[in-house]
Structure 1
C-alpha cells in the first residue's frame, strides 16, 4: 500500500517530489499555451484547475491532461479577457516608460504604478483560481477583486509569489517558462486556504 511518505521500488525521489514535477510540467504547458498572448487567461485558469485536481485527488498531472483540459475550457469569452489583459499590461508598460523618461512627478508616480500593477496581478491570479473562470470572466474578476481586498493575507502571499517569480525570471530568463506553474499553485492555494 502506498502512502504519502513511502517510496515505490525503483522510485528515486518519492511521492513528495511528484507534485513539484507536476507543477513544472504544467508550468511549461501553460507557457506554451500562452504564447499567442490572447490565451493567457484561459491557460492560467486551466493550470489552476489541473493543479487543483492534482492536489485534491493525488492524481499525477501530465501535459496531455493539461491540453485536454484547456481544449475543454476554451470558449469565446476567453479572447476578450486576453485582450483586456494585454491592454492593461500595455497601459502599465506605457506609464512605466513615461515615468522613466522624465515624467513630472515620476518619483511619486512610480510607487503608485507598482501598487496598481501588483493589485492587478493579484486580482488576475485570484480570478484564474476561481471556478467561475471556466464560465464567466466577469464573475470571476468581480469575486477575485472582492477577495483581494477582503482577504489581505492571501493577497500578500500572491504578491510575494509574483515578486519572487519576477526576480527569478529576471535573474535567469529561461525560468520564465516555468513561472506559470508555481504561480498557478500559489493562486490555487490562496483560493482554498487564505
Structure 2
C-alpha cells in the first residue's frame, strides 16, 4: 500500500500557525526580504513583489511549507499584471511626496509646520493601504479599493501596519545596510494583519 509523500515534521508548521519553531520564520523572512528587494528594483514591480511575498507567507502559514525561490518567482509572474504595474507608478509619486515633506521640515516657509506632518501622515496612510492591498488573496488580489476598505474596517490592524512602517523608516534612517531585508518584515506584518482580520471575521458573523 503506497502512501503520499509527506514533508518531514521539522520542515512543517501547524496549519494556520504563523510563528514556526526554531529559526524557520527568521529564515523565511530573510529570504522573502531579499527576493522582494531584488524584484522591486524596477520600481513599478514593487506591488507585484510584495504580493508575491505575502502569498508565499500565506502559504507558509496555511500548510507549514517553507518559502522557496521557485514558488516566489511563480507568484511574482502571476502578479505582474497591467493593474499591478500601473499601481507601481504610485511608488515614485510617494517618494516625491516624502522628498517634498523632508524639504518642508527644513524650510521656514509659511504653513510648513502644518503641511509637513500632514504629508507625512498621508504618505504613511498610503503605505498602509498599499501593504493591505498586496496582502489580499483571491479574488481581491492587488485591489487598492479593497485594501482601503479593509484598512477602514480594521483600524487596529491599520495601526499595527503603521507601526511596522514607522519602525522600518527608523531602521532605514539608522541602519541603511538593512534596507534589503526590510521588505520581508513589512510583507510579514501585512500578512499577519490580513490573516488576523480574515480569521476574526467568521467569529464576528
For the aligned pair, the TM-score class normalised by the smaller chain equals: 0.7 to 0.9
Aligned to 1:104: 110
TM-score (norm. length: structure 1): 0.85
Structure-2 change in CA distance of 1:91 and 1:110 (3 Å):
closer
Matched, 1:28 2:34: yes
User: Aligned partners of 2:104, 2:162: CA distance in 1, in Å?
Assistant: 24
Conserved? CA contact 1:96–1:110, under 8 Å:
yes
Structure-2 change in CA distance of 1:107 and 1:52 (3 Å):
same
Conserved? CA contact 2:11–2:66, under 8 Å:
no
1:77 to 79, 83, 100: 83
Aligned to 1:94: 100
Q: Which runs of 5+ in 1 are unaligned?
A: 6-13
Deviations 1:129-170 (A, max 9, x none): 0125875x4xx1112112222211101100110111111122
User: Aligned partners of 2:11, 2:175: CA distance in 1, in Å?
Assistant: 33
Aligned to 1:141: 144
Structure-2 change in CA distance of 1:122 and 1:87 (3 Å):
same
Conserved? CA contact 1:4–1:16, under 8 Å:
no
Aligned residues: 184
Aligned to 2:176: 173
User: Aligned partners of 2:59, 2:174: CA distance in 1, in Å?
Assistant: 31
Question: By how many angstroms is 1:35 displaced?
Answer: 0.6
Aligned to 1:9: none
Q: Which runs of 5+ in 2 are unaligned?
A: 1-7, 13-19, 198-205
81-90 or 45-54: which moved more?
81-90
Question: By how many angstroms is 1:73 displaced?
Answer: 2.3
CA-atom RMSD in angstroms: 2.4
User: Aligned partners of 2:177, 2:168: CA distance in 1, in Å?
Assistant: 12
Aligned to 1:10: none
